[in-house]
Structure 1
Amino acid sequence: MSRVLIAGAGVTGLITAVRCARAGHRVTLLDRGPIPNPAAGSFDQHRAVRALAPGDPAATRAAAALHRHWLRLQALLGGEFYRRIGVVTAWPADLVDAAFEVAARAELPLALLPPKALPHIVLPDRHLGIHEPEAGVLLAERVLHAAGRWLRAHPAVTLRPWCTVVGVDADAGRLTLHDGTDLGGDLVLLATGAWTRDLVEAPTVLHRQTTVYLRPPAELSEWWEQAPSAGRIGADGTGWLMPPGAGTLLKLSSSELCRPVDTFAETDDTRAIARQYVDRILTEPHRYRIAAVKQCHYSVDAVTGGAALAQPGPAVWARAATGGDGFRTAPLVADHIVELAAAAGLAA
């Protein structure tokens, strides 16, 4: 049994705490705010779970396992937070055969959608929709609250909200808190999102993302409730749509609606830009009302552009990345930390 110390109560910290506690380790989870923390980058209406990575069978196979991970977590934590409505991504027609070949090698079911299957969504010219029927959407806030409830009831877990980490001794595996006290563990995970780079050497790029929430017209509400998540869409192939359902709104995001920033303080006046982008994603955009425009931040690994796990010290691991990719792959990080905790326990 190891003592696992986790800083950060977003999805990575929470799911890792659950996995470590179930594996028999003693876990201390702390956060600068409440647990779970609504200010965490993980909080949002929904996140897509998808697997297809054309050209990379290994990545596709690993991501396909996430469906099973999230279903097991839903059964364990309780509550309905995984809507398995499928995910459609648009691909150039000449790459479709290669995508299906990769999926077959990864044993990932796929289907090619007929051109008129998504009449309300714009696809790029000469692109086809590839459907992952086993994929879907995570109701992000439900995930975090369910994990928080489970952890509060577990005797091997200590939750310490309102504890800000101000320093890290990566060699000794110890954290210094805002009140001057120190905490240590056999294994330490820093899952503090974009703030991780203030504590250890974790090269990241911070992005400011504009997310648009829409209300579909009433006569299309039933269609949208059953629609899959859709990505690589719009005239330029950069859009992502998360359908409404279970009390959520229709959510639109795009790489065209985000930019790298140096600090959280930078602001944008992007509502007009958001409206223009909506016009490029939906076939009858004038029928949709913008309910909200949200400005949020996410960070990615500066080298890989993804959600890499770094090792700043012998017993210290850090995950600075946040956003959709960081959310959906959190169970994979949790599994890796459990393996490391088991090895640390044997070495102790």
Structure 2
Amino acid sequence: MRVIVVGAGIAGLSTAWSLAKRGAEVTLFEQGPVPNPLSASGDQHRIIRRAYGGQGGYQRRIDEAYEAWDEMWADLGEKHLVDTGFLLVSQTEGDEAEEYRDGLVAGGYPFEELGPEEAARRFPFLDAGTIRFAAVSPEGGVLLCQKIAASMKRWLLENGVDLRENAKVAAVDVAGSVWLENDEEITADHVVVTAGAWVLGLMPELASELTTYRTAVAYLTPPEDLREAWENAPVILDVGGTVDGYVLPPVAGTGLKVGAGIHKYESAPDENRVALEGEGEQIRDYFGPPFARIAEYSVSDVVTCAYTFTEDEHYFAKSEGRLTVVSACSGHGYKFGAAVGRRIAGGVLSGDTDAMRIWLEARD
């Protein structure tokens, strides 16, 4: 079977990987280099975690996500996952950190709850006076995106995938054809679009179901006396309060990254990609509280990102004729990347794309 994959973020790379392993003839198009620094998969690192609040379907799918990553590490001959564990920090009653904790309780997953003083003793970057409780679990960690993409690129080329970088697809159709910007037409038995935030450029009719947002993350340099604490910290899934904030520690050569869910607005993926003056400091300041001495953290870099969102924040998947479109919703995308690729490949090769869609939407 000949399959074209459009977009070489983690979903496209993993789909090409899984298709090639199952004997398909794969052509993978990417509009930029691999990894592409403008894509959500091109940043330094992303979180994998169990806690999911009210979205129990995704919480239960983490087991398969880990299994798929393990299969990929075996193929690549190297593991690009740092097992840090994860931390939740609640500031106000009923905040998202508390919802995540309650989801762990409901699922019967292990964690340790800490009072404010104990949390600040164990994690000295926290201000005990601003938090209600913390919860820590050994399960979870940091996926090293750029290293994964580089290793995947090598594996795909070594295993017969026709990977075409800097080849932008201008159009697709349900009959199994894609057209490049130079008007070249390529046909296959099936086309899979995993173009991330650029999907509406190919399929504007999906605008009623997908919305593209621009956001940004900041990389910080902590005070020197807190550097070691951060280097040994778990990922922080939520810092509580109202900012929907998350933190990735500086591990394996990465930086200390902070991002906030409230820091986003609607935008086309190629627009507003330059960080604004003072934007890094604005993102940093969302985190004080619960971090102590936030003004002592300097901003080393600001990276803009573009994501698609569905209204209910579940994956989007749709198949028609010889065309399948899959789009992740915000941060769901990366942690499930290897499993998503396996599911897409299975659906395309078997013809059962409904089962693929049901798994991706994770409503059960």
> TM-score per shorter chain, which class?
0.7 to 0.9
Judge conservation of contact 2:217–2:280 (CA < 8 Å) in 1. no
- Equivalent residue, structure 2, for 1:110: 111
Judge conservation of contact 2:130–2:290 (CA < 8 Å) in 1. no
Q: Does 1:316 align with 2:316?
A: no
- Equivalent residue, structure 2, for 1:207: 213
The more displaced of 27-36 and 122-131 is 122-131
Q: Normalised by the size of structure 2, how large is the TM-score?
A: 0.83
SS at match of 1:257: strand
Measured after TM superposition, the shift of residue 38 of structure 1 is: 3.1
Q: Does 1:179 align with 2:151?
A: no
Measured after TM superposition, the shift of residue 142 of structure 1 is: 0.8
- Equivalent residue, structure 1, for 2:356: none
Judge conservation of contact 2:239–2:287 (CA < 8 Å) in 1. no
Q: Does 1:192 align with 2:195?
A: yes
Closer, same or farther in 2 for the Cα pair 1:12/1:190, shift >3 Å? same
Measured after TM superposition, the shift of residue 340 of structure 1 is: 1.9
- Equivalent residue, structure 2, for 1:163: 167
Judge conservation of contact 1:240–1:253 (CA < 8 Å) in 2. yes
Closer, same or farther in 2 for the Cα pair 1:100/1:314, shift >3 Å? same
The more displaced of 201-210 and 223-232 is 201-210
Judge conservation of contact 1:42–1:322 (CA < 8 Å) in 2. no
Letter in 2 for 1:183: I
Aligned length: 337
Deviation per CA, 1:177-204: give whole Å up to 9, x if none: 1222222222211111121111123232
Judge conservation of contact 1:7–1:13 (CA < 8 Å) in 2. yes
Judge conservation of contact 2:213–2:306 (CA < 8 Å) in 1. yes
Measured after TM superposition, the shift of residue 278 of structure 1 is: 4.0
- Gapped runs of 5+ residues in structure 2? 353-364
The more displaced of 41-50 and 257-266 is 257-266
The more displaced of 59-68 and 133-142 is 59-68
Judge conservation of contact 1:197–1:320 (CA < 8 Å) in 2. no
Judge conservation of contact 1:202–1:310 (CA < 8 Å) in 2. no
Q: Does 1:83 align with 2:82?
A: yes
Measured after TM superposition, the shift of residue 215 of structure 1 is: 1.1
Measured after TM superposition, the shift of residue 12 of structure 1 is: 0.8
Letter in 2 for 1:238: D
Once residues 89 and 308 of structure 1 are traced to their aligned partners in structure 2, the CA distance between those partners, rounded to angstroms, is: 28
Deviation per CA, 1:133-178: give whole Å up to 9, x if none: 12111111111111111111113x11122222111112x1211112
- Equivalent residue, structure 2, for 1:252: 258
Once residues 173 and 127 of structure 2 are traced to their aligned partners in structure 1, the CA distance between those partners, rounded to angstroms, is: 51
Once residues 261 and 124 of structure 1 are traced to their aligned partners in structure 2, the CA distance between those partners, rounded to angstroms, is: 38
Deviation per CA, 1:259-282: give whole Å up to 9, x if none: 223563246442442343243342
- Equivalent residue, structure 2, for 1:233: 239
Closer, same or farther in 2 for the Cα pair 1:79/1:323, shift >3 Å? farther
- Equivalent residue, structure 1, for 2:357: none
Deviation per CA, 1:195-234: give whole Å up to 9, x if none: 1111123232122212111112232222211110112205
Once residues 252 and 83 of structure 2 are traced to their aligned partners in structure 1, the CA distance between those partners, rounded to angstroms, is: 12
Once residues 95 and 195 of structure 1 are traced to their aligned partners in structure 2, the CA distance between those partners, rounded to angstroms, is: 32
SS at match of 2:228: helix
- Equivalent residue, structure 2, for 1:18: 17
Closer, same or farther in 2 for the Cα pair 1:88/1:237, shift >3 Å? farther
Once residues 273 and 208 of structure 1 are traced to their aligned partners in structure 2, the CA distance between those partners, rounded to angstroms, is: 15
SS at match of 1:141: helix
- Gapped runs of 5+ residues in structure 1? none
Q: Normalised by the size of structure 1, how large is the TM-score?
A: 0.87
Once residues 54 and 35 of structure 1 are traced to their aligned partners in structure 2, the CA distance between those partners, rounded to angstroms, is: 33
Measured after TM superposition, the shift of residue 343 of structure 1 is: 1.5
SS at match of 1:67: helix
- Equivalent residue, structure 1, for 2:157: 152
Judge conservation of contact 2:285–2:295 (CA < 8 Å) in 1. no
The more displaced of 63-72 and 214-223 is 63-72
Letter in 2 for 1:42: S
SS at match of 1:90: strand
Once residues 56 and 166 of structure 1 are traced to their aligned partners in structure 2, the CA distance between those partners, rounded to angstroms, is: 35
Once residues 14 and 147 of structure 1 are traced to their aligned partners in structure 2, the CA distance between those partners, rounded to angstroms, is: 7
Q: Percent identity?
A: 28
Q: Give the 5 Å matches for 1:248-287.
A: 248-262=254-268, 264-266=270-272, 268-269=276-277, 270-287=279-296
Deviation per CA, 1:79-138: give whole Å up to 9, x if none: 34101101222355876884344222xxx4333245323331358966433333121111
